[in-house]
Amino acid sequence: MAEQPLVEFDGVIKRFDSFVAVERMDLDIHKGEFLAIMGSSGCGKTTTLRMLAGLEAPSEGEIRLEGIRINDLPTWQRDTPMVWQSLALFPFLNVRENVEFSLKMRGVDAAERRKRAGHWLERMQISEFAERNIAQLSGGQRQRVALARSLVTEPEILLLDEPLSALDAHLKVRMQAVLSDLQRELGITFVYVTHSQSEAFSMADRVVIMSRGVIEQIGAPQEIYRTPRTRFVAEFLGSSNIFAGKVSQTRKGQVAIETPTGRYATAQSDDKPVAVGDSVTFAVSGDRVQLSAKTPKGEFNTLQAKVVGEEFVGATATIYMEAADGTELRAQKSHDELRDLSIKIGGNVFVSWRADAGHILPGE
């Protein structure tokens, strides 16, 4: 018998007057997992988190925590603390008093509060700041205070609403490691809302991609990256080349697809096999695309494109290109690979990929 999920969203809908923020959500969250919810602004991810926290009530459907319906349970009766984007620390309390606050609200005596707060201040490596005012702390230190305040009650689930968005890039990476280590050590379920693909994919066990109140895809980061289900997911991740056309031939696990930029072979869909005449959309990840100055030899899909831009991030670069019909293309390459290619803005390159690098989007 399968273990009961810690949290269940069962047919949950949330309306604000005539606007539907979340549209019939069915989602299970498992005990001890790190779940990230992603999507563009207005997709419903924060509303989902607020319903779980008890700050919003579902318009329809049911939310269950350990099998118990919590739709109408007040926030203070739920064991679902939240780390806010703004952190929401109390400026009139020092660090230790901020961490003790939720224990005080629960009626824990002063000695026990101080002991437990001290434990979490030490665990978050901020004991030396215990008597400091919040205004005297750096962004990373404040982040650790907010985490200590939420974890001091030792909840089963912790909600995090874009908690790293205000930090500098190098601090984000450090805090990602802190969060990942904490979650693994404590076994607490984390539900983490973010705009950042790098945050979600580096930390989460599963990722939920939302659009306009609807879940587009749920899966492990690698699964979503390699096999997006819909055009929205592929475009949202921003790492794929997307082509649309009609199937002209099927053979031996491959299909040929006629598109405005040419005829390409790609792998047949295991999830939802396609037939001759079907309109399909397929994606090719930018890191599986080859660039060359001459037409490549071998069984490659190939087209010529103009280089329109470059973006360098760390050890890799993204090359942006445009096909003759205006189709946007991209490729991720190391600096060593680019050095041998002599890429120039405005110049032409051959873009190629093998058939098994293509993935038909089953949700289209």
Mean per-residue pLDDT pooled into runs of 10, the chain (364 residues): 86 96 97 95 94 96 96 90 84 93 90 94 92 90 90 92 82 87 93 92 96 97 94 92 96 93 93 92 95 88 95 87 94 86 89 95 87
What is the predicted pLDDT for the residue at 2? 62
Domain ranges of the chain: 7-226, 231-360
Instruction: Please name the fold of domain 231-360.
Output: OB fold (Dihydrolipoamide Acetyltransferase, E2P) (2.40.50)
One-letter-per-residue 3-state SS of the chain: CCCCCCEEEEEEEEEECCEEEEEEEEEEECCCCEEEEECCCCCCHHHHHHHHHCCCCCCEEEEEECCEECCCCCHHHCCCCEECCCCCCCCCCEHHHHHHHHHHHCCCCHHHHHHHHHHHHHHCCCHHHCCCEHHHCCHHHHHHHHHHHHHCCCCCEEEEECCCCCCCHHHHHHHHHHHHHHHHHHCCEEEEEECCHHHHHHHCCEEEEEECCEEEEEECHHHHHHCCCCHHHHHHHCCEEEEEEEEEEEECCEEEEEECCEEEEEECCCCCCCCCCCEEEEEEEHHHCEEECCCCCCCCEEEEEEEEEEEEECCEEEEEEEECCCCEEEEEEEHHHHHHHCCCCCCEEEEEECHHHEEECCCC
Class in CATH terms, 7-226: alpha beta
**Residue 148: C-alpha distances to residues 143, 233, 287 (Å):** 9, 34, 39
What is the predicted pLDDT for the residue at 56? 95
Neighbours of 109 (CB within 10 A): 10
Rounded CA gap, 144 and 147, in Å? 5
If you search the block for the tokens 């005449």, which residue do you land on?
277
